[in-house]
Structure 1
Amino acid sequence: MKIKIRIRHKLVLFVLIGVLLTSGISLLYVQNMHKLYEQIVYEQTSEKLYLYSERIEDKLAAIDRMTQSIASDADIQHGLEKIKQNKNSRETYYAIRAMEEKLLSYRFFNYPIRSVAIIDYWGNDYWLGTTKDETAPAYSKQFIAMAAQKEGGSLWKGGERDSKIFTSLREIRAVKSMDFPSLGTLIVRVNASDLIESIGSNHPSSNNKLLIYEDHTPIYWNDEQWRDKPMPSSLIQNERSGERYEMITLNHHKYLSTLSTMSFTGWTLVNLVPYESLFQQAILMKKILLLLYTFILVSLVWIGLIFARSITRPLETLAFRMSKVEQGDFVTYREEPVRNGDEIGWLTNSFDKMTVSLDRLIKDNYIKQIHIKESQYEALKAKLNPHFLYNTLDSINWLARRQGQERISSMVKALGDMLRSTTSRKEMTMLQEEIQHVNNYLLIQKYRFEERLQCEINIPDELNRCYIPAIILQPIVENAIKYGIDELTGECHITISGERFGEQLDIWIADQGPGMDTHYLEQDSGDGIGLRSIHERLRLLYGEPYGIGILEGIDQGTIIRIRIPVLLKEGVSYV
């Protein structure tokens, strides 16, 4: 069912669609810009964390170089060898004092070092630093064992007792002996908070959650709610897949997580930035834009209603006047004066003038039209009735048969049948009816030419019910009789045949005359009996591929080929 929408509603709908389309495109643009901004923030945050982890690694590497320098120091090596050889002696006492003085010569204040401890071969510890960190025996044995596994290499550990200390372990080995025997263990404790704060401007914001994991166990955190909590599974998956940043939800809060693995220690540095702190202004801007678009939408719809009413109200008035005129009231223009000065007002004034003119013309021409109809009726009565001719020919036929004039009777009957065919209003006729019309014409001509006129018709029975344009064969046969007489014998032999090729019907009319130019239809000559007319008629009915073709005979004469589509139903057009 067709939906009828008034012009006013169409205008409002047009404005509404325009506003919605513009707003949709704008919101899509804002959304894409917001995603682009998020992507830039993600990449910058990830890059910042990567640089931050490199700064931490640089600090730890500097401390590591210092521990290597201490472990390989000749005085410290000599002191530890004396202690190992003589556990309790005066030489051991002086060796310990010399070793402590050597430790004082190192500039520990350049690093956020909490304490430095050397544990000798016998398990005695020697401390230097702001605080002497008493370590439980179990911890000391564990540290000595872990350092021994590195065989003089460096090992960093975190989370010894809390998040405030990173511990560097290194086994001290005798460098003068080829088998590098163990002399003791060097333990350096670093204030983790001081190390983080010493990085400077690259330190993450106070709202961020900075976490450092060792084997997915936290060893540093700046928020107590993350204490003793293992690394979330989503962060573990990102670490394994190599994703450097991702938006995750933890404890019902949305965070931008960035990860960086420190190659020096193997620790994983995680920075969690609250989503609200990153995109607070962007979210506020989106809300403001949404409110602004809503306000613009409502305003434009309201303006569109006013605008539509200003256009449709005069049109509705004009439509009402037209309905009055349709009912025969031609004086409705006097009811309301036209106030619009635009095109609608001009149209209303023109309509009023038209109603006046129509009223006058109807009154003036009413009687004239009646007189014209009466004249046309009288003219029709004055026309010759074809039935009068049919009846007259029937009377002649009856009189000839009564007088025994069979030849005259057959000629008159054939002429009557031809007259009925030519005066018929049918555009299409069956092929068998057209052949019958040709036979009537040939019957009349045989009385003139007698035995000199011979015609052979070979049309398959299945083609007789095909429809062809009426009166196209008889003019061509007439043309063949006129120009197809043999110059030597004076006889005229005509052959009419037909054949179907798929959806195409070809009809040939061949004679044995002197022949004609095969390019006759392309010339401007006015000779001939309607060949061009028939050709043009077929082209108009069926299109370019169809029409008349002029061919040369096998021995002599001319073959006229008629090509039309096969029509088994009257009225089908192939144009």
Structure 2
Amino acid sequence: MQTQKKIFYTFMLVIVIPTILFFSLILKISTRLVEKRTVSASELVVKESVKRIDTLLNNYNRISMQIYYNQNIIDYLDKISRKEVDIKNKPTIIAEILDSMVNSDKYLMTAALKAQDFLIMRGTKFYNIEDYFNTNKDKYTGIPGRAFWLTSRRMKTGLGDDTFYFGMMRLIRKDNNTIGELVFLLRQEFFDDVYAGSLPDNSGNDYILSQDGMIISASDKNKIGLKINDLNFNSVLTGEMGEYGYIPIKNKSYVIFARSKESGWYFIRELEAKSISDTIAQLRISFIILIACFCSFLILLLYFFSKGISRPINTLAECIHKIGPKNLDIPAPPSDNYAPDEIVKLHKYLYEMSLRIEQLIDEVARTERLKTEAELKALRNHISPHFIYNTLDTIKWMAIINKQENIQKMVCAMDKLMRYASDYKKNLITLDEEIDLTREYLLIQQMRYSDINLIISIPKKMKEFLINKFILQTIVENSIIHGFKNYKNTGTIIIKASVQNAVLTITVSDNGRGFDIDGLRNEDRPHTGLYSVEQRLKLNYGDEFGINVCSRPGKGTAVTVKLPVLE
């Protein structure tokens, strides 16, 4: 039961708790994403709406050019200003142009042209059109020649309607003198059609404001014509926040705005934070339900999973507990369909292990006996070299006494070779020591092959590098036995060395009989000495190191040794 609890609590700690933390993090990220996307969507709506407004207002600006650049009308208005014509004789071209303007656009209700006491108005008749001119005169007179867009104002028509209209005024000038005024009055439905998107869940307000805070249009029609008093809009209207952007009002709303380049108006969307928080609350509830269902499923799954693991483990623990010094019997693993395969395998392996333990006990005892015998044999082998050294020393002194210098030299060389060969603790020697060993070996062979010369061409610095014992001696021995046997000419062995990229390359070449490389490869047992050197180098340093043999019958042999630079 304790095992099941540990497994259950461990999985709870490793899986369930991190899962809850992960879902919490996802919820937090999703909350910020919902907020960001809601604001971004409104920013796109505001920018697109302002773009549509500018496009349409610019179109009315182009329409007004029909009057502004008509020379006949300009001349007529100029004569009116100098009182050279009777205003009762109005030219029909003015009425025709104004009629075409009104009839070609569904929002344009009235087009009027005024010059002193002269006024011609086409479209819907307004009683207070003169007041409209006079009220806004101080605003548009400061920008002669340019279109000036006026805020919304309640206007009375000849049909008795009393509703809000907004307008455009433009001064008609000649020779830097104002000779007339052109005005367009447009319906409020203009703004309803330019909105690029509605408010999410109708929570908040859309405004189109002039720079002085007058509401030109709004989603709440009751606010049209009023002046906004919200302090949060002041920084927008004064231009401190730039042409477009948004201002988060803590725990209240988001003010998203963009400025119309054509009119200077601001499209402002006040998005209530409550609408975003409601969406986030719904998202949070959905996540909590999902986490609760998922965690409940995980807990049930972990319970049955831990139970399925703990039961066979407990059975296995009881079997192990029975093992003792005098009891190595373990029952065969039971056939439990619910136990994991790994536990069944573990029980099976433990059962097989118990069968092997007794065999291993016998093998250990036999190994100990063999080890004892090996130690005795090593002791005897250690005594034998000392006997040989003492015998060689006796022969050397007998040669000295009898003045046999050749025998003396051979014995000294043999003694030196035997001492190096028997020193098992020292596997690496300097290249200089290896050359001395080779010379000692050649000294012995020269007693038989007197016409063999050894040439050493190795820089002094390289002689301090370390190499394995009897590498060069073995290759030189191979040259003498296989290269100079029954050879009638003078034999020469040359040893060279070089270093490149931390690799020591030693070449041992001779002018002996040579041999067929292909024939050497086909032999069942190639040259034992060269094969031994190859294996020693590869075992010590890897397959990239070793020897390379190059030989041709009658042309001699060259053996190249590659090994790492060791100092």
CA apart distance, 1:566: 1.8
Matched, 1:437 2:433: no
Query: How far apart, in 2, do the equivalents of 1:153 and 1:325 lie?
Result: 106
Q: Which residue of 1 aligns with 2:384?
A: 388
- 1:471-550 aligned at under 5 Å gives the runs 471-485=470-484, 489-501=488-500, 503-517=502-516, 526=525, 528-543=527-542, 546-550=545-549
Q: Which residue of 1 aligns with 2:234?
A: 232
Residues 255, 274 of structure 1: 8 Å contact kept: yes
Q: Which residue of 2 aligns with 1:377?
A: 372
Residues 487, 512 of structure 2: 8 Å contact kept: no
Q: Deviation digits for residues 470-497 of structure 1, max 9, x if unmatched? A: 2222222222223444978554343444
Query: Can you give the 5+ residue segments of structure 2 that lack an aligned partner in the other structure?
Result: 1-5, 67-72, 74-81, 89-101, 119-123, 156-162
Matched, 1:261 2:260: yes
Residues 206, 267 of structure 2: 8 Å contact kept: yes
Residues 34, 276 of structure 2: 8 Å contact kept: no
Q: 2:284 aligns with which of 279, 283, 287?
A: 287
Query: How far apart, in 1, do the equivalents of 2:37 and 2:413 lie?
Result: 94
Read off the aligned partner of 2:471 and give its amino acid letter.
I
CA apart distance, 1:464: 3.9
Query: How far apart, in 2, do the equivalents of 1:144 and 1:296 lie?
Result: 70
TM-score scaled by length of structure 1? 0.62
Paired residues in the alignment total 507
Query: How far apart, in 2, do the equivalents of 1:391 and 1:111 lie?
Result: 128
Query: How far apart, in 2, do the equivalents of 1:501 and 1:198 lie?
Result: 88
Query: How far apart, in 2, do the equivalents of 1:233 and 1:476 lie?
Result: 96
Q: Which residue of 2 aligns with 1:346?
A: 344
CA RMSD of aligned residues (A): 6.2
Read off the aligned partner of 1:346 and give its amino acid letter.
V
Query: How far apart, in 1, do the equivalents of 2:326 and 2:58 lie?
Result: 100
Residues 213, 237 of structure 2: 8 Å contact kept: no
Query: How far apart, in 1, do the equivalents of 2:145 and 2:513 lie?
Result: 125
Matched, 1:13 2:14: yes
CA apart distance, 1:462: 3.7
Query: How far apart, in 2, do the equivalents of 1:544 and 1:371 lie?
Result: 37
Query: How far apart, in 1, do the equivalents of 2:178 and 2:527 lie?
Result: 132
Query: How far apart, in 1, do the equivalents of 2:397 and 2:312 lie?
Result: 78
Read off the aligned partner of 1:350 and give its amino acid letter.
K
Read off the aligned partner of 1:313 and give its amino acid letter.
S
Query: How far apart, in 1, do the equivalents of 2:511 and 2:171 lie?
Result: 128
Query: Can you give the 5+ residue segments of structure 1 that lack an aligned partner in the other structure?
Result: 1-5, 66-71, 73-80, 86-91, 93-106, 123-127, 174-179, 569-575
Q: Deviation digits for residues 340-395 of structure 1, max 9, x if unmatched? A: 8313652464366347535xx53x76467545633653476467535235415523
- 1:75-154 aligned at under 5 Å gives the runs none
Q: Percent identity?
A: 18
CA apart distance, 1:557: 4.0
Read off the aligned partner of 2:355 and give its amino acid letter.
S
Query: How far apart, in 1, do the equivalents of 2:126 and 2:370 lie?
Result: 135
Query: How far apart, in 1, do the equivalents of 2:429 and 2:170 lie?
Result: 117
Q: Deviation digits for residues 50-71 of structure 1, max 9, x if unmatched? A: 66898999999999x9xxxxxx
Query: How far apart, in 1, do the equivalents of 2:441 and 2:164 lie?
Result: 126
Residues 120, 185 of structure 1: 8 Å contact kept: no
Query: How far apart, in 2, do the equivalents of 1:19 and 1:12 lie?
Result: 11
Q: Deviation digits for residues 175-225 of structure 1, max 9, x if unmatched? A: xxxxx998x99999x8x9xx5479778897786545444443425476468
SS in 1 for 2:437: helix
SS in 1 for 2:424: coil
CA apart distance, 1:507: 3.0
SS in 2 for 1:216: coil
Matched, 1:216 2:218: no
Q: Which residue of 1 aligns with 2:397?
A: 401
> In the superposition, relative to structure 1, how do residues 304 and 234 fare at CA in structure 2: closer, same or farther (>3 Å)?
farther
Q: Which residue of 1 aligns with 2:447?
A: 447
Residues 456, 496 of structure 1: 8 Å contact kept: yes
Residues 514, 557 of structure 2: 8 Å contact kept: yes
Read off the aligned partner of 1:13 and give its amino acid letter.
V
Query: How far apart, in 2, do the equivalents of 1:349 and 1:121 lie?
Result: 115
Q: Which residue of 1 aligns with 2:267?
A: 270
